[in-house]
Amino acid sequence: MTLLDARNLGKRYTSGGRDVAALDDVSLSLAAGETLGLAGASGSGKSTLARVLTRLVPADGGTVRFDGEDWLALSGSPLRRRRSKMQMVFQDVLGAFNPRATVASVIEDPLRIHAVVPKAERGREVAALLDRVGLPASYAARSIRDVSGGERQRIAIARAIASRPALVVLDEAVSALDVSLREKILELLVALQAERGMAYLFVSHDLAVLAAVSHRIAIMDAGRIVETGPAAEVIGSPQSAAARALVRAVPRLVIEKEDRNAV
């Protein structure tokens, strides 16, 4: 089942006399429960696409159908309500929060806003979410400045899945973590997907990361999607110059897992 279908998205930025087509006629689709990896050189438009899809910045043109709705046409309280279905995890997304905010309040926000569970059960739900991302319930009382980078990303994931979304957009969500921590978070994300059937749009400049989690991979170059295919094919026999350059940048890239089964 198609969960998200984006067509002909465009986005231009003008700054300092420079006009940039950050998105140039971008179309992509995602099935329910699928992971689409999105790779591309720095400045190719990956984050712009993630921000347009999550409604953080407006597109200049194009359409997005998400979960049966005209997603870009939603505004006001209908948009606020539907946001429960599309959540995001950015690189150090909690860095933007008040550092004194408690872990509990960070995870409770979406539970409250989207009335996921009755008020009396919120504390228990926070503990269950913490447990699910591998943190002790005692972390609920800590302030977010007192947790490590890896723990923060776990908390960001707990927050993102709290509202039981159908799609999570992850933009360089593991890029700041060291290799062993990164592997653990990727394993967690794959396990959560198997349990909950969420789709992921997984943005990374690192094809090795995408190889570990993606069913399909799309490659961006200068605001356009220049190649899309099953992960093993894009990595094993890249067709575009942009994809070949990314594969070359990871010289020892081996596809350890067979192409994740198509959904």
Ligand X SMILES: Nc1ncnc2c1ncn2[C@@H]1O[C@H](COP(=O)(O)OP(=O)(O)OP(=O)(O)O)[C@@H](O)[C@H]1O
List contacts with ligand X (CB under 6 A): 13, 15, 20, 22, 40, 42-48, 205
Kindly tell me which of 47 and 163 has the beta carbon lying closer to Mg ion.
47
54 binds, among Mg ion, ligand X, none (CB under 5 to 8 A by kind): none
The binder of 48, among Mg ion, ligand X, none, by C-beta within 5 to 8 A per type, is ligand X
Query: Minimum Å distance from CB 64 to ligand X?
Result: 17
Is the CB of 23 or the CB of 211 nearer to ligand X?
23
DSSP code per residue over the chain = -EEEEEEEEEEEEEETTEEEEEEEEEEEEEETT-EEEEEE-TTSSHHHHHHHHTTSS--SEEEEEETTEEGGG--HHHHHHHGGGEEEEETTGGGGS-TTSBHHHHHHHHHHHTT-S-GGGHHHHHHHHHHHTT--GGGGGSBGGGS-HHHHHHHHHHHHHHT--SEEEEESTTTTS-HHHHHHHHHHHHHHHHHH--EEEEE-S-HHHHHHH-SEEEEEETTEEEEEEEHHHHHHS--SHHHHHHHHTSTT----S-SPPP-
Provide, rounded to whole angstroms, the least separation between the CB of residue 220 and Mg ion: 10
Does 193 contact Mg ion by CB under 5 A?
no
Nearer to ligand X, 90 or 139 (CB): 90
Tell me which residues in 39-78 interact with Mg ion (CB under 5 A).
Answer: 47
Which residues contribute to the site for Mg ion (CB under 5 A)?
47
